[in-house]
Amino acid sequence: MDRATVDRIAQFEGNDVLLQGWLANRASKGKLHFLQVRDGTGTIQCVVFKGNVTPEEFDAADHLPQESSLEVEGAVRKDPRSPIGFEIDVKRLRVVSVAEPFPIQPKEHGTGFLMEHRHLWLRSRRQVAVLRVRAAIVKAIRDYFDSNGFLLVDSPILTPAACEGTTTLFELDYFGEKAYLTQSGQLYSEATCAALGKVYCFGPTFRAEKSKTRRHLMEFWMVEPEMPFADLDENMRVAEDFLVYVVGRVIEARRPELEQLERDLKPLEAIRKPFPRVHYDEAIQVLQANGSDIPWGDDFGGDDETRLTKQYDRPIIVHRYPAAVKAFYMKKDPTDPRYSMSMDVLAPEGYGEVIGGGQREDSLDVLRNAITAHGLPMEAFEWYLDVRRYGSVPHAGFGLGLERTVAWICGLGHIRETIPFPRMLEKMTP
């Protein structure tokens, strides 16, 4: 007998199958018990008719607690009333393990309670849908870079120096030396792109963010392409092309999950090239004209980004932020050194920054001065300066935050549901 999963159930119509899963819910009516069985790929109604099973099996189906694990054998039958179009008529029921009373009931629970039980909360339909979308986003990201001439090159997690400022470093002891969890693989990708051409790294990154927001995690995943012989304009073109591709692929691959999440697909389907390019000065003007009191020179907070993106119907690319609010490695605008050759892609619908990047400083002397000006230890960056010493080229890249992208595509109000086990300011268990 074939072992079926719910997502592939249609191909077994009319046949007997073995289905293994957990009891999500049940109801009874006379000589019938209706078991909602979920197996991770979906949920299917398994109908237990008294005449088809032993008295012991029929009795078990009447008393089985939620989340008990079980195996059923039965015939797959088309049923137009089923949300998935099929049911299983049970011929055998085997209880694998009877569950204790499950803490999460089909009723409203507070977020704190659900986060405490994150390992169990993940079994709910909504969380399953989010994680299935997340996996599709990862696949689309990889497919884009793999098929556009980028090579996957991993960057280290343990690093000797800061990339994105010294205030958000997780420090640890590396055999008597200080080491840090990586904030970004970028500096390494700048070196590897001089070895391998266009590259990308994709892995977990860490920031000791002391603010509690709906957009920040301490541990998040970032994909970072890096391109030699590329400038800011090229970087913006790639970021835009990449994002349009990812959103399109995910809508195609995960429509049922997005519908389950009640995501309004219209704003996602409207995402097309080109994204408006908005100079930082223009962004400040738009913000001030719309009631913000942000002064020239400030970086944008989440509220500023929301206010700004509301003026557009698709993602926007803000470029040339003041050099003073950006990292040491940013190239200065050759026409005015107050600005950096930076860019952020801001997502619509209040989601804000999903991509940050820019053109890198390629002059050895300018970069050395920037390291000093940022108060960073020169010794730790000597290897990085070598990239400028030996065949420096204009180069650029960016980083896309995976969890912010999941939140946006799924339409979630908070980043905590975008990763299986979020690491937040106030807590890191389970």
- Binding residues (CB under 6 A) for ligand 4AD: these are 163-164, 184, 186, 207, 209, 216-217, 220, 222, 224, 353-357, 397-399, 401, 403-404
Closest distance between Mg ion and the C-beta of residue 355, in Å? 8
Comparing CB distances to Mg ion, the nearer of 42 and 356 is 356
Residue 106's Cβ-side half-sphere holds a number of Cα atoms within 13 Å equal to: 8
Closest distance between ligand 4AD and the C-beta of residue 405, in Å? 7
| Residue 404 interacting partner from ligand 4AD, Mg ion, none (CB closer than 5 to 8 Å by kind) | ligand 4AD
Closest distance between Mg ion and the C-beta of residue 307, in Å? 17
Residue-level length of the chain: 430
Q: What are the φ/ψ torsions at residue 315 (nearest 5 degrees)?
A: -60, 150
Comparing CB distances to ligand 4AD, the nearer of 224 and 304 is 224
Closest distance between ligand 4AD and the C-beta of residue 342, in Å? 9
| Residue 169 interacting partner from Mg ion, ligand 4AD, none (CB closer than 5 to 8 Å by kind) | none
Coil vs helix vs strand at 143? helix
| Residue 235: closest CA among 390, 400, 388, 351 | 400
| Residue 164 interacting partner from ligand 4AD, Mg ion, none (CB closer than 5 to 8 Å by kind) | ligand 4AD
Q: What are the φ/ψ torsions at residue 317 (nearest 5 degrees)?
A: -115, 110
Q: What are the φ/ψ torsions at residue 336 (nearest 5 degrees)?
A: -165, 105
| Residue 87 interacting partner from ligand 4AD, Mg ion, none (CB closer than 5 to 8 Å by kind) | none
CA dihedral 244, 202, 258, 307 (to 10 degrees): -60
Comparing CB distances to ligand 4AD, the nearer of 46 and 162 is 162
Closest distance between ligand 4AD and the C-beta of residue 345, in Å? 8
β-bridge mates for residue 223, sequence order: 202, 400
Comparing CB distances to ligand 4AD, the nearer of 79 and 353 is 353
Place of tokens 């957990």: 22
Positions touching Mg ion (CB under 5 A) are 356
Lay out the sheet containing 177-181: strands in order across: 158-159, 177-181, 171-174
| Residue 422 interacting partner from Mg ion, ligand 4AD, none (CB closer than 5 to 8 Å by kind) | none
Burial (CB < 10 A; 0-12, 13-18, 19+), residue 175, is exposed
